[in-house]
Amino acid sequence: MSEELGMTVKKENFNEWYLEVIKKAGMADYSSVSGCMVIRPYAYKIWENIQEFLNEKFERQGVKNAYFPLFIPERLLKKEAEHVQGFIPEVAWVTEAGSSELDEKLAIRPTSETIMYESYAKWIRSWRDLPLKINQWVNTVRWEFKHPVLFLRTREFLWQEGHSVFATKEEAEEEVKEMLDCYAQAYEELLAVPMVKGKKTENEKFAGADYTLSIETFLPIGKAIQGATSHHLGQNFSKPFEIKFLDKNEEEKYVWQNSWGFSTRSIGILAITHGDDKGLIIPPRVAPIQVVIVPIYYNEMDKKKVLKAAKNIVKSLKGLSVQIDDREGYTPGFKFNEWELKGVPLRMEIGPKDLKKNQAVLVRRDTGKKTPIKTRNLKKEVKRMLEEIQKNLFERAKKSIEERTKKVSTYDQFKKQIEGNWVVAPWCGSVECEEKIKDETGAKITNIPFHLNEKKPEGKCILCGKEAKHVVYFGKSY
């Protein structure tokens, strides 16, 4: 692969590396619309694999997929005051159609609570209509930011947003945790990215929610990033939208609601977590291509035999995503470099010498290790190696996070450790301390992790010295 086509920047120069790897691996590109991206087929297949994984989880929870309009009338968006206040800076508006001015401004979907809940109010009458659980896979537009970054921060992005309705608060609060678990499983089991589950502070919660749960991770570039969120909305939307039902005692009550979402940001998180100086490394369970076969030959006679063997191998690996790179005009070395850049988990090399030995050579993208495998054992060994790669990527990411997680008990320790690390510290729960720490250090509370707050925390708030109410993760966010 030539200098122009291959990676020219090391990962330590992160901003340049990230843009280069995303573009050169054929994942995405910028469009002529500022802040918007083109998702190319290679990355879109990753998104389809995520969709398939989550759809299966959602179906088990009784969730049905649907579609609601992209345009939201201003009057609907304004029905829930706190919600609209939170989104006003990010809303893009349609004010004209052709040469005519619209009677009412239309918001381009920043999120769909308001447009969906107008319908929910018409559909729900009785306790028999509950629970109602609807999800949609859609695009969303949020306009307010300065520096677009492919997948991580774009004005238009793809996501799923689920909106569920219950007769009781208890049912809603149970589901809001279940959906967070689905998201954590998608990251950890599919994308091999470890996550910390927890609750957002009042300052950081979704506008209009009673509370927000989130999953967070820490990137090898020394920044924290939010993976996905699940919001308990309480009755904050059911009251302004008049979503009511008659219970079993014929009493009229307002419903309890949740909303939850997972976006294409996940693809950027995957790339940063696992990528290296050679390019992407994509975990096998989400990879568009799990195995690429590079045939090696030097004359037409060898070519015919090698390609025939390669096609037979593809048949034997039924159920896996396998591709033969039989392009003319490219050397095997060029192909090796290109598939390393694209992050394919397993490369298979097969040439005339391998045919004589009844073998193929397997090369792991995560370690670079080469292993000759007898043809009769290929299916078993390929499957084993793919699982090993999946596990290794997760464990490697977990170790990286653990090495960058620092526990502190004083503010002086905090200020020394916060640069490039995820800092665990006791906090009193006050907004004043949260905001002062953010103003002075640039670090915010990523979440209040469940696993560190099962018991009453010990220690004093790192800033004010009062009794700690929570142990939290602080980090500088990407």
The pLDDT value given to residue 85: 78
What is the identity of the amino acid at 221? I
On whether residue 197 sits in a domain, the answer given is: yes
Do 227 and 295 lie in a common domain? no
Per the listing, tokens 């537009």 go with 141
Q: How many other CB atoms sit within 10 Å of the CB of residue 169?
A: 13
On whether residue 8 sits in a domain, the answer given is: no
Do 239 and 268 lie in a common domain? yes
Question: Residue 295 contacts by C-beta under 8 Å, 6 or more apart in sequence?
Answer: 303, 306, 307, 310, 324, 325, 326, 350, 351
Q: Is the pLDDT of residue 400 over 50?
A: yes
Query: Measuring CA to CA, which residue among 375, 335, 382, 324 is closest to residue 354?
Result: 375
Span 379-392, mean pLDDT?
98
Q: What angle do CA 295, 372, 276 make, to 5 degrees?
A: 75
**Residues 353 and 297 sit within 8 Å (Cβ to Cβ):** no
The pLDDT value given to residue 5: 73
Q: Is the pLDDT of residue 83 over 90?
A: no
Span 433-456, mean pLDDT?
96
CA distance 41 to 49: 12
Q: Is the pLDDT of residue 2 over 70?
A: no
Q: If you write DSSP's letter for every residue of 231-260 in order, what string do you get? A: EEEETTTTTTTT-EEE-TTS-EEE-EEEEE
Span 349-358, mean pLDDT?
97
CA distance 414 to 430: 17
Query: Measuring CA to CA, which residue among 461, 442, 327 is closest to residue 335?
Result: 327
Using DSSP's 3-state secondary structure scheme, residue 440 falls into helix
The pLDDT value given to residue 404: 97
CA distance 10 to 23: 15
CATH at 470: 3.30.110.30
Span 219-237, mean pLDDT?
98
Query: Last residue of some domain: 338, 359, 386?
Result: 386
Do 53 and 193 lie in a common domain? yes
**How many domains does the structure of the chain reveal?**
3
**Cα-flanking dihedrals φ and ψ of residue 225, to 5°?**
-150, 145
Cite the DSSP H helix spans in 357-430.
378-403, 411-417
Angle between helices 378-403 and 300-316 (to 10 degrees): 70
Do 160 and 305 lie in a common domain? no
On whether residue 394 sits in a domain, the answer given is: no
CATH at 347: 3.40.50.800
Stretch (H or E) spanning 178: helix 169-185
On whether residue 283 sits in a domain, the answer given is: no
Q: What angle do CA 328, 329, 332 make, to 5 degrees?
A: 85
Question: What is the share, in percent, of the chain residues with pLDDT greater than 90?
Answer: 93
Do 92 and 205 lie in a common domain? yes
pTM of the prediction?
Answer: 0.96
What is the identity of the amino acid at 461? C
Span 448-476, mean pLDDT?
95
**Cα-flanking dihedrals φ and ψ of residue 426, to 5°?**
-75, 145
CATH at 167: 3.30.930.10
Is it true that the peptide bond before 131 is cis, omega within 30 degrees of 0? Answer: yes
Do 163 and 227 lie in a common domain? yes
Do 98 and 189 lie in a common domain? yes
Do 136 and 205 lie in a common domain? yes
On whether residue 202 sits in a domain, the answer given is: yes
Q: Is the pLDDT of residue 231 over 60?
A: yes
End-to-end CA distance of the chain: 32
Query: Last residue of some domain: 222, 245, 274?
Result: 274
The pLDDT value given to residue 104: 95
Q: Is the pLDDT of residue 108 over 60?
A: yes
Question: What is the share, in percent, of the chain residues with pLDDT greater than 70?
Answer: 99
CA distance 384 to 252: 57
On whether residue 397 sits in a domain, the answer given is: no
Angle between helices 265-274 and 378-403 (to 10 degrees): 90
CA distance 77 to 106: 9
pLDDT in tens, 178-192: 999 999 999 999 999
Query: Last residue of some domain: 329, 355, 386?
Result: 386
Span 390-419, mean pLDDT?
98
Do 369 and 412 lie in a common domain? no
CA distance 292 to 363: 10
On whether residue 400 sits in a domain, the answer given is: no
What is the pLDDT of the chain when averaged over all its residues? 96
Span 306-319, mean pLDDT?
97
CA distance 156 to 266: 15
Query: Measuring CA to CA, which residue among 256, 272, 322 is closest to residue 293?
Result: 322
Span 140-149, mean pLDDT?
87
Query: Measuring CA to CA, which residue among 44, 37, 46, 32 is closest to residue 19?
Result: 37
Q: What letter does residue 142 receive in the DSSP assignment?
A: -
Token readout for 304 is: 């015919």
Domain span holding position 420:
405-475
Q: Is the pLDDT of residue 1 over 60?
A: no
Do 77 and 156 lie in a common domain? yes
Token readout for 286 is: 């989400």
What is the identity of the amino acid at 465? G
- Side-chain half-sphere of 257: how many Cα atoms within 13 Å? 27
On whether residue 312 sits in a domain, the answer given is: yes
Q: Is the pLDDT of residue 3 over 70?
A: no
Do 424 and 356 lie in a common domain? no
Residues in the chain, how many? Answer: 478
Do 239 and 377 lie in a common domain? no
The pLDDT value given to residue 4: 60
